[in-house]
Every structure is written in C-alpha cells, then in structure tokens.
Copies of this chain bind each other. A is one copy, B any other.
C-alpha cells in the first residue's frame, strides 16, 4: 500500500501550492525571510515549501495562511486543490 511517510515529496499539487504561497507573499511585498519569521517556520523550510519540495503539514499551512492574512481554504482553492 503506498503511504506518505516522508516529507520530501515532489508532486504537482505541492508545486501548485507553493506557487500560490509565493504569489500571495509577493503580492504583500514580503520577503521569504519575513514570511518565514512571521509564520515561525524555518527559513530554509519555507523556501522548500514554496518550491513544492516539502509535503507541508496542516499546522504549518495554518501558520502560513495566518501570516499571509488569509485562510488555508483560500490558498488550496487558488491552487485548484
């Protein structure tokens, strides 16, 4: 049975999600470092999330959405997920 056990998964869904995070961050004129700090997420981890290189958790998505001033549902909807 295929299971998602790791966090290093590359997928078109993660890439789409990361692109939305990056787009919303840039729309707010925030640097990646500023968003990472605001969301209390490690800076290098944030870069990997934006590139779709990490299978983000729900709690980190909530932190990111809060830092972007939006809802998690909005981010997923914009990513077509």
Residues of A at the B interface (CB closer than 8 Å) are: 1-4, 7, 9, 11, 13-14, 17, 40-42, 55-63, 65, 71-74, 76-77, 81
Contact = CB atoms under 8 A, between A and B. Distances in A.
Contacts of A3: 40-42
A71 B76 contact: yes
Contacts of A42: 1, 3
Given A1-B40, A13-B58, 5 more contacts: A2-B40, A3-B41, A4-B60, A11-B59, A73-B74
B55 A56 contact: no
A63 B13 CA distance: 11
Contacts of A55: 57-59
